[in-house]
Chain A
Amino acid sequence: MSRQSMLTIFGALALVVGLTGCYESSDVTFFEAGKYQGGDDPLLQKLEDPEFRAGLDRRFDGQRDR
């Protein structure tokens, strides 16, 4: 094997190895929140009530310049 072809092979190998280093898998581990493990908050139920929500929005009028 000539020096030249050896160099070519090594060069190609180096290129392959180098390129491999640049590879980024799209299959990453997202750091996602786990499932909430704590107790129930009765407030959540209350917030579902549109009338209650409307009350909060009316209360917000206090923060207006009037």
Chain B
Amino acid sequence: MTDNGKNEQTAKKYEKYVKKVTPTHSLPLNMAKAFLVGGLICVLGQYILNTAETMGLGQEEAGSWCSLILIFLSVLLTGLNVYPKLAKFAGAGTLVPITGFANSVAAPAIEYQKEGQVFGIGCKIFTIAGPVILYGVLSSWILGVVYYVMQLWR
């Protein structure tokens, strides 16, 4: 009766069957939760932006303060073990905002402190943030090259 999975067709068939019998979270409900929490985080961001601007800061500076404060709050909530609980509820609502990025930096830093300053915290702090920074820098560089070439053309 064993099929060692070499037969791709049976593997596909089994996968399809498993998908059928495996319960999943309700997508609309999950989306609503993500919408709510993600939206609220953005509102908080907007509040910081507006406050910064009424204090006479420029748009760019206000944006920096906004990131800074949101990241601080996220790291704090991660350390206090609140962020993972919030994320369990909100899913992408806490993953997508910049606070999700901060969580992905703080969580491994806290977890891997036992493995040392350099190869524990130092390496693992980039486990998730590293790829985000790498591909962000790389994709903006590639697009920048296109922009640069187009500027030469003109």
Whether both chains belong to one complex is answered with no
